[in-house]
A and B are shown apart, each in its own frame.
Chain A
Amino acid sequence: MGSGALFVAVFLACFVEAVEALTIVLAAGTSRDWRSAITGVLSGVAVLAVVVAALGPSLTLIPLSALRLVVGGLLLIFGLQWLRKAILRASGLKALHDENAIFATELAAAQAAPPDRRGMVGDWYAFTLSFKGVILEGLEVAFIALTFGANQHNIPLAAAAALAAVVVVTVAGIAVRAPLARVPENSLKFVVGVMLTSFGIFWGAEGAGAHWPGADIAVLVVVPAVALFALTLVALLRRINTQPQASLASPQGASS
């Protein structure tokens, strides 16, 4: 896996999660109190930085085969989760991720909550909403960045990719001052799901003692194979999903 692939995988994963975190922070800021919402963001980022700083160096001390076994397994489980959701959304079996709808829901909940001042924080609801949003969306990204970086012995590059994604989303959020609803989030999740699954397969198998034909070159076959398999599943599920509608529209369906 080259540095470019490492950067792209971490950047995309982080970008998607940052878009989701931005929606939550915008809802907290616009409906409640910007100062408390930003304090929540900074506190969340600080906690994530501590997690990365604590786990990063220790991950590099673990023997590579053990690291790849554990990390490969976790990446594969994560990747299959992402891919599963992306396939279900693409085939119409699950609602598409809609940042505008999520923003409206969060906004309504935030407006309905009573005001609550605690210590230095002017609005506790805005603070906790932002803090939890950043932590929950960021933890998975921190894990992806750390594990990809540790496997490639290049945690600084993975961290740079994650930081770049956060900066891009933050700048876009400040410019637009609205949820980034036009970001093709579901497509990005599909791509990230393919990459996590592929590298999970590759590293997991290596960590468990398997030898890939062609060594590292094998990953160049695994990634497109997983993508093709996932697209095939989308096509199959779409057909299954539309079949009952077709039968209902048919004369037999109408008469029965």
Chain B
Amino acid sequence: MTRRISAFAAFWYDFIIGDDWVVAAGVIIALALTYGLSATTAVPTWWVLPAAVLILLPLSLWRVARHSRPGPPSSPHAS
């Protein structure tokens, strides 16, 4: 029973969070920041999520690149 529950939890974790939990946590923090700033100030807040993507995506890629061995590159359009 415990194994089934943990398998179920693992499936949903993999489905929603995926390979890098930092990205998911960063998105939630950015959404909370947008919500908080929008509710309490008159400052434009549309830029928070784009800024989060500008930070989170390179950070996540860098974490993989740091531990990867070099390999032959391929075209994103010819793949």
Interface residues of A (CB under 8 A from B): 69, 72-74, 76-78, 80-81, 83-96, 139-140, 184-187, 190, 197, 200-201, 204-205, 207-213, 218, 222, 225-226, 229-231, 233-234, 237-238, 240-245
Contact = CB atoms under 8 A, between A and B. Distances in A.
A47 to B, nearest CB: 14
A76 B74 contact: no
B45 A210 contact: yes
B65 A240 contact: yes
Contacts of A84: 19-20, 23, 57, 60-61, 64
B10 interface: no
Interface string B33-45: 0110011000011
Question: From DSSP, what is the main secondary structure of chain A's interface residues?
Answer: helix
Nearest to A248: B70
Contacts, number: 146
B7 interface: no
Contacts of B65: 93, 237, 240-241
Given A84-B61, A185-B79, A231-B76, 15 more contacts: A73-B31, A74-B16, A80-B27, A84-B20, A86-B76, A87-B61, A92-B70, A92-B71, A96-B74, A184-B78, A207-B31, A222-B50, A237-B61, A244-B70, A245-B70
A92 B31 contact: no
Given A77-B18, A92-B73, A229 B79 contact: no
Nearest to B67: A93
A241 B54 CA distance: 21
A72 to B, nearest CB: 8
27 contacts: A69-B35, A72-B31, A73-B27, A81-B23, A84-B19, A88-B61, A90-B73, A92-B70, A93-B68, A93-B71, A185-B79, A186-B74, A186-B79, A205-B34, A207-B31, A208-B34, A210-B38, A210-B49, A226-B53, A229-B54, A229-B57, A234-B76, A237-B61, A238-B73, A241-B70, A241-B71, A242-B70
